[in-house]
Chains A and B, each alone.
Chain A
Amino acid sequence: MGMQETASFLFITKKQLLRQRLSKFLSENMLLYYCNKKGGNNMAKEFTTTNNALVVHLDGEIDQYAAANLKSKIDVEIEMTEKRNLIFDLGNVTLMDSSGIGLILGRYKLMQSLGGSMVLCNASASVKRIIELSGIGKVIPHYKSRDTADRSFIESIIYERNEQK
């Protein structure tokens, strides 16, 4: 390493440091953006947690293309989380076809096999119609908000306890 290079390495200015951090931040976030794009969804946050559950935030049009991309992503997240319950937040879903129903049904079966449960929330009128038509509404409850969906898990535990008494 030459004398000059050593010097510039040692005396890196504050401005340069900021620029480095900024470019690192941008490259990381561009990668995140690209990953989300590839998944067919442009959501900023796909997964969050509440007191009782892992929340999957679905976005846009859930068709066969989107469902196929989301399936493995969601299953990995279910495997990694310590939460026993799952909430599908459909608040930003503009259209869902039977492939979306298949996606929900598949995750419901997975949660059951893990001894957990699953609920839906925030579906629009048109999304609710297909949920009801498919019959999954009878086995997977739907709530008007994420909060009530989250509380339903505690209530079902209390209910179970009362039943046992």
Chain B
Amino acid sequence: MKNYLKTEFSAKSINEGLARVIAAGFIMPLDPTIEQMADIKTAVSEAVTNSIIHGYGEQEGNVVLEFEIINRLLTVKVQDFGVGIEDIQQAREPLYTSKPESDRSGMGFTVMESFMDSLHIISEQGAGTTVIMTKKL
């Protein structure tokens, strides 16, 4: 089976729920387990939240969300055109957060890494960040 979906929405917190619903709807035909469904929804939530909170912050912009499925291998791509990540290595460390004052747990990338099979981060300062995750269903 091969399927693809691309969607773009405003970088607003209220759209995090929408992103999860889109993810759930896209993988539904593959009959995922409850656990797989929760894992994917949570990972998407993390990536989209990062784009909104860290990528854009107070700025306005759009988040591009793409899904592709080829033979039960799901690829999720979350892209923003915000500030970018200064040090990807540091950002991936568990408990590291660039915003310790605002109740951030610093677990975003760790959650994505644990709940998906692979995590790839491409970022350029001032140009934006793209997160690519895969998971076999």
Contact A98 B103 (CB under 8 A): no
B103 touching A97, Cβ below 8 Å:
no
A 82-123 to B, binary, CB cutoff 8 A, 1 in contact else 0: 000000000000011111011101100000000000000000
Residues of B within 8 A of A71 (CB): 103
Q: Which of B70-120 contact A (CB under 8 A)?
A: 94-95, 103-108, 110-111, 114
B129 lies within 8 A of chain A by Cβ: no
B137 near A: Cβ within 8 Å?
A: no
- Quick check: B105 and A64 within 8 Å, CB to CB? no
- Whether a CB of chain A sits under 8 angstroms from the CB of B32 is no
Report the bound CA distance from A98 to B49 in whole Å. 10
Known: A63-B49, A64-B53. A95 touches B20 (CB 8 A): yes
> Per a CB cutoff under 8 Å, which of A95, A99, A126, A130 touches B49?
A99
The smallest beta-carbon distance between A106 and chain B, in angstroms, is 4
B42 near A101 with CB under 8 A, answer no
Q: Is B10 an interface residue (CB 8 A)?
A: no
| A25 cross-chain contacts in B, Cβ below 8 A | none
In the complex the two chains form, is A95's CB within 8 Å of B107's CB? Answer: no
Tell whether, in the assembled complex, residue B103 and residue A126 are in contact, meaning their CB atoms are under 8 Å apart: no
Residues of B contacting A136 in the complex (Cβ-Cβ under 8 angstroms): 105
Q: Which residues of A contact B35 (CB under 8 A)?
A: 125-126
Which has the most chain B C-beta neighbours within 10 Å: A63, A96, A97?
Answer: A97
Any B CB within 8 A of the CB of A149: no
A134 within 8 A of B: yes
Q: Does B14 contact A (CB under 8 A)?
A: yes
Q: How far is the CA of A86 from the CA of B114 in the complex (A)?
A: 29
Asked if A46 is at the interface of the complex by the 8 Å CB criterion, the answer is: no
Chain A window 66-79, contacts with chain B (Cβ cutoff 8 Å), 1 for yes, 0 for no: 01100100000000
Q: Is the CB of B38 within 8 A of A133?
A: no
Check A34 for interface membership: any CB of B closer than 8 A. Answer: no
Q: Does B3 contact A (CB under 8 A)?
A: no
Q: How far is the CA of A67 from the CA of B106 in the complex (A)?
A: 15
A99 to chain B: which residues have CB within 8 Å? Answer: 49, 104-105
Decide: A97 and B46 in contact? CB cutoff 8 A: yes
Residues of A within 8 A of B126 (CB): none
**In the complex, B27 has a CB within 8 A of chain A:** no
Q: What are the residues of chain A within 8 A of B105 when measuring CB–CB?
A: 98-99, 101-102, 105, 134, 136
Give the interface of B toward A (CB within 8 A): 13-14, 16-17, 20, 34-35, 38, 41-42, 45-46, 49, 52-53, 94-95, 103-108, 110-111, 114
28 A-B pairs, CB-CB below 8 angstroms?
A: A61-B17, A61-B20, A63-B13, A63-B16, A63-B17, A63-B49, A64-B49, A71-B103, A95-B42, A97-B46, A97-B49, A97-B111, A98-B104, A98-B105, A98-B106, A98-B108, A98-B110, A99-B49, A99-B104, A99-B105, A101-B107, A103-B103, A126-B34, A126-B38, A130-B42, A133-B111, A134-B111, A136-B105
